[in-house]
Structure 1
Amino acid sequence: MNPDIYAELGIQPVINAMGNVTLLGGSTLSPAVEAAMEQANRHFAPLEEVLDKSGQAIARQLGAESAFVTSGCFAALVLGIAGIMTGNDPEKIARLPDTAGMKNEILLQKAMRYHYDRCITVPGGRLVEVGNEQGTTADQLAAAIGEQTAGVLYFARGETIPGVLSLAEVVRVAHEHGVPVIVDAASELYPIDHMLGRVASGADLVCFGAKYLGAQNSAGILCGRAEWVRAARLNNFVSYESHRNRAMGRGYKLDRQEIVAVTVALKEWLTMDHEERLQRDAERIEVVNRTLADLSHVTTRTQWDAEREPWMRLLIGIDPDKLGKSMETVIAEMRSGNPPVWVRNDGKDLAIMVNMLQDDEVGVLADRLRQVLSME
Structure 2
Amino acid sequence: MTSCFEVFGLKKVINASGKMTALGASSVSEEVAFALKEAAQGYVEMDELIKFAGTIIASRTGAEDGCPTASASAGIAIATAATITGTNLSLIERMPQSAGLKNEVIIQKGQLVHYGANIGQMIRLGGGKVMEVGAANKVEKEHIEDTITDQTAALFYVKSHHAVQKGMQPIDVMVDLAAKYHIPLIIDAAAEQDFQHYIKMGADIVVYSGAKALAGPTSGFLCGKRNWMAACRAQYKGIGRAMKVGKESVAGLIAALQQQTSHEKTLEEQREQMSVMCEALNKLTGLACSLHMDEAGRTICRAQIKVQEEAGITAAQLQEKLEKGNPAIYLRHHYANVGLLYVDPRPLLPGDEAIIVKEITKILQEGK
**TM-score, length basis structure 2:** 0.91
1:223-281 per-position Cα deviation (integer Å, ceiling 9, x unaligned):
10011111111112xxx3xxxxxx0121112222210211221233x63387x622322
Q: Which amino acid aligns with 1:165?
A: Q
* SS across alignment from 2:332: strand
* SS across alignment from 2:211: helix
- Is the CA contact 1:291–1:370 (under 8 Å) kept in the aligned structure 2? no
Q: Which amino acid aligns with 1:181?
A: L
**1:272 maps onto 2:262 in alignment:** yes
Q: Could you say if the C-alpha distance between residues 145 and 65 of structure 1 is closer, same or farther in structure 2, counting changes exceeding 3 Å?
A: same
* Cα distance in structure 1, aligned partners of 2:9 and 2:42: 32
Aligned to 1:256: 247
Aligned to 2:183: 179
Q: Which amino acid aligns with 2:293?
A: W
Aligned to 1:119: 122
- Is the CA contact 1:287–1:363 (under 8 Å) kept in the aligned structure 2? no
Gapped runs of 5+ residues in structure 2? none
- Is the CA contact 1:300–1:315 (under 8 Å) kept in the aligned structure 2? yes
* Cα distance in structure 1, aligned partners of 2:233 and 2:350: 40
Aligned to 1:200: 200
1:290-342 per-position Cα deviation (integer Å, ceiling 9, x unaligned):
211223421122221599314221111112x3323222211111122221211
Q: Which amino acid aligns with 1:171?
A: V
Q: Could you say if the C-alpha distance between residues 284 and 120 of structure 1 is closer, same or farther in structure 2, counting changes exceeding 3 Å?
A: same
Of residues 350-359 and 302-311 in structure 1, the stretch that sits farther from structure 2 once superposed is 302-311
Of residues 47-56 and 129-138 in structure 1, the stretch that sits farther from structure 2 once superposed is 129-138
Gapped runs of 5+ residues in structure 1? 241-246
* Cα distance in structure 2, aligned partners of 1:157 and 1:260: 27
Q: Which amino acid aligns with 2:216?
A: A
* SS across alignment from 1:285: helix
CA drift of 1:42 comes to: 3.6
**Moved runs in structure 1, 4+ residues, more than 4 A?**
none
* Cα distance in structure 2, aligned partners of 1:21 and 1:4: 19
Q: Which amino acid aligns with 1:329?
A: Q
CA drift of 1:283 comes to: 2.3
Aligned to 1:44: 43
* Cα distance in structure 1, aligned partners of 2:2 and 2:148: 59
* Cα distance in structure 1, aligned partners of 2:141 and 2:3: 57
Counterpart pick for 1:302 among 291, 295, 304? 291
Aligned to 1:161: 165
Q: Could you say if the C-alpha distance between residues 123 and 352 of structure 1 is closer, same or farther in structure 2, counting changes exceeding 3 Å?
A: same
Q: Which amino acid aligns with 1:271?
A: T
Counterpart pick for 1:323 among 288, 302, 311? 311
* Cα distance in structure 1, aligned partners of 2:72 and 2:346: 20
Aligned to 1:371: 362
- Is the CA contact 1:188–1:308 (under 8 Å) kept in the aligned structure 2? no
Q: When the two structures are aligned, how many residues end up with a matched partner? A: 358
- Is the CA contact 2:74–2:243 (under 8 Å) kept in the aligned structure 1? yes
Structure 1 segment 98-117 matched on structure 2, within 5 A: 98-115=97-114, 116-117=118-119
Aligned to 1:342: 330
Structure 1 segment 27-176 matched on structure 2, within 5 A: 27-115=26-114, 116-117=118-119, 118-157=121-160, 161-176=165-180
Q: Could you say if the C-alpha distance between residues 98 and 315 of structure 1 is closer, same or farther in structure 2, counting changes exceeding 3 Å?
A: same
- Is the CA contact 1:33–1:261 (under 8 Å) kept in the aligned structure 2? yes
1:135-176 per-position Cα deviation (integer Å, ceiling 9, x unaligned):
222222111101211111100226872221111111101220
Aligned to 1:214: 215
* Cα distance in structure 1, aligned partners of 2:306 and 2:210: 31
* Cα distance in structure 2, aligned partners of 1:34 and 1:4: 14
* Cα distance in structure 2, aligned partners of 1:273 and 1:251: 32
Counterpart pick for 1:291 among 264, 280, 291? 280
CA drift of 1:214 comes to: 1.1
- Is the CA contact 2:14–2:328 (under 8 Å) kept in the aligned structure 1? yes
Q: Which amino acid aligns with 1:148?
A: Q
**TM-score, length basis structure 1:** 0.89
- Is the CA contact 1:142–1:174 (under 8 Å) kept in the aligned structure 2? no
Q: Which amino acid aligns with 1:204?
A: D
* Cα distance in structure 1, aligned partners of 2:13 and 2:206: 33
Aligned to 1:244: none
* Cα distance in structure 2, aligned partners of 1:310 and 1:211: 17
Aligned identity (percent) is 25
* Cα distance in structure 2, aligned partners of 1:38 and 1:344: 31
Of residues 300-309 and 65-74 in structure 1, the stretch that sits farther from structure 2 once superposed is 300-309
* Cα distance in structure 2, aligned partners of 1:63 and 1:359: 34
* Cα distance in structure 2, aligned partners of 1:305 and 1:357: 17
* Cα distance in structure 2, aligned partners of 1:52 and 1:85: 21
* Cα distance in structure 2, aligned partners of 1:183 and 1:101: 25
CA drift of 1:4 comes to: 5.8
* SS across alignment from 1:227: helix
* Cα distance in structure 2, aligned partners of 1:150 and 1:13: 46
* Cα distance in structure 2, aligned partners of 1:264 and 1:104: 36
1:95-119 per-position Cα deviation (integer Å, ceiling 9, x unaligned):
1111111111100011222114222
